[in-house]
Amino acid sequence: MQSEFFNSKLPRSATSIFSQMSALAVQHKAINLSQGFPSFPVDPTLIELVDYYMRAGANQYAPMAGVPALLAVLAKKIEHLYGASVDPGAEITITAGATQAIFTVIATTVRAGDEVIIFEPAYDCYAPTVELFKGKVVPVRLTGPDFKIDWEQVRAKVSSRTRLIIINNPNNPSTKVLAGSDLLQLEKLVRDSSIMILSDEVYEHLIFEQHVHQSVLAWSVLRARSFVVASFGKLLHTTGWKLGYVVAPPQLTNEFRKVHQFNVFSANTPMQLAIADYLKDPNHYLQLSKFFQQKRDFLTAGLQETRFKVLPSRGTYFLLIDYSLVSESSDIDFARMLTTEYRLASIPVSAFYSNGLDQKMLRLCFAKDQPMLTAAINILKKV
């Protein structure tokens, strides 16, 4: 279509780095540690539950907000973990994945000219969605190796036009886990304002060692103004099912659903029913941190025999490696070289910064089976 008939609403956006690197991995038959999805099977019990509900005839539209049985299980889970009493019918909405949930939160809250504070490195859907709704992204750039937040810097970024602050805890890709002191600073920052919070907590159960997940649901001032986004894909190793949910106070949920009903309406019915049954056993999610910590430790130990420096992974199923002792190439060029010449795909961390900040770091996903991680280690020993 000729340009005079069509002006792009996202002129600076192109195919995501995740799609690019995965396509390159396929082309060169590379081990794919780039995109964040597990390479091991889903629990057969969960598959059997989905099959049961499909055969039982639960194949039509679910209620717009979600299947009541699943909403009830999630309310119980939230109260158990965070001590927050949530009305399942008025405060939880099942979505077609976490990214759809994030998109809908931003669509619900951001108007033309509103400012949205984003902490970088940031998941790549935040900024384009803000721009799509004519908001202005105000980045707070955090740098390695600790990616520590300077709250005075954040405070200086707040203006009368600040509408939304987006946090991602634990953070992809930095793996940083926010401490209680961070949530306290955020609470002080927004207490006497009309600023809302989008808290992306999809990795809430993937936290290691002594670190504890600080959900905004446990902080009363934050909970009253927050949309909390969670993911069943991360919880159940089912990223391809594209199911997530949003928790927010009734007034915010009501506004969220006004948009949700017109861009998705409802999510997969038999999977919702199956997950409702499956999550009645808390061990299905409480054991995740131990499971993934073993994988992280295996990959970290193997990389000690390479020239790469491993940054501590505190949460998520990613870790960062510093290749500055290996090459002076940009992280994008180095990631492409690793894929094409060594057949190992990763993600350059500069892709998570709006200004392309290059710290000579790559992100690796360790949600993979042992043979794949072993093969990746052996490749990196040769670099």
Whether 208 contacts 176, CB under 8 Å: no
pLDDT over 60 (residue 354):
yes
- Say which residues have a Cβ less than 8 Å from residue 355's Cβ, sequence separation at least 6: 139, 141
Residues 133, 126 contacting (CB under 8 angstroms): no
User: What is the DSSP secondary structure assignment for residue 315, as one 8-state letter?
Assistant: B
In this predicted structure, what is the pLDDT of residue 80?
A: 95
Task: List domains and CATH numbers for the chain.
Answer: 17-42+286-381 (3.90.1150.10), 60-281 (3.40.640.10)
Q: Where does the pLDDT of residue 279 fall: very low under 50, low under 70, confident under 90, or very high at 90 and above?
A: very high
Amino acid at 48: E
**Predicted local confidence at residue 1, as pLDDT:** 44
Determine the average pLDDT of the residues in 13-19.
79
Q: What is the mean pLDDT of residues 345-349?
A: 97
Q: What is the pLDDT of residues 250-263, one digit of tens each?
A: 999 999 999 999 99
Q: What is the 3-state secondary structure (H, E, C) of 59-102?
A: CCCCCCCCCHHHHHHHHHHHHHHHCCCCCHHHHEEEECCHHHHH
**Side by side, which strands form the sheet with 92-95?**
92-95, 244-247, 226-231, 196-200, 162-168, 115-120, 136-141
Say if CB 149 and CB 181 are below 8 A apart.
Answer: no
Secondary element (H or E) of residue 130: helix 126-132
pLDDT for residue 379 is more than 80: yes
- 10 Å Cβ neighbour count for 371? 10
Rounded to an integer, the average pLDDT of 320-345 is 97
Q: Which residue has the tokens 């384009």?
A: 128
**Cβ 327 vs Cβ 334: under 8 Å:** yes
| Omega before residue 173 within 30° of 0, cis | yes
Each residue's pLDDT tens digit, 17-54: 888 888 998 999 999 999 888 999 999 999 999 999 99
pLDDT at 20: 87
pLDDT confidence tier of residue 11, bands split at 50, 70 and 90: confident
Task: Name the token pair of 193.
Answer: 């304002």
| Separation of alpha carbons 378 and 383, rounded Å | 9
Q: What is the rounded average pLDDT of the residues 297-320?
A: 97
* Other CB atoms within 10 Å distance of the CB of residue 218: 16
Q: Give me the pLDDT at residue 7, please.
A: 82
**pLDDT tens for each residue of 163-222:** 999 999 999 999 999 999 999 999 999 999 999 999 999 999 999 998 899 999 999 999
pLDDT on residue 4: 64
Residue 335 — φ and ψ, nearest 5°?
Answer: -65, -40
* The pLDDT value given to residue 247: 98
* Predicted structure pTM score: 0.95
Residue 334 has pLDDT above 70, yes or no: yes
- Strand boundaries in 2-67, DSSP class E: 31-32
Tens-digit pLDDT profile for residues 82-130? 999 999 999 999 999 999 999 999 999 999 999 999 999 999 999 999 9
Give the per-residue pLDDT at 267: 97
Q: Do residues 22 and 32 make contact, with C-beta atoms less than 8 angstroms apart? A: yes
Q: What is the mean pLDDT of residues 278-290?
A: 94
Write down the pLDDT at residue 69. 98
Q: DSSP code of 42?
A: P
Q: Are strands 244-247 and 92-95 parallel, antiparallel or unpaired?
A: antiparallel
DSSP 3-state assignment of 166?
strand
pLDDT at res. 236: 96
Residue 359: both structure tokens together: 């710290």
Q: For residue 198, list its beta bridge partners.
A: 166, 227
Tell me the C-alpha distance between 190 and 54, whole Å: 45
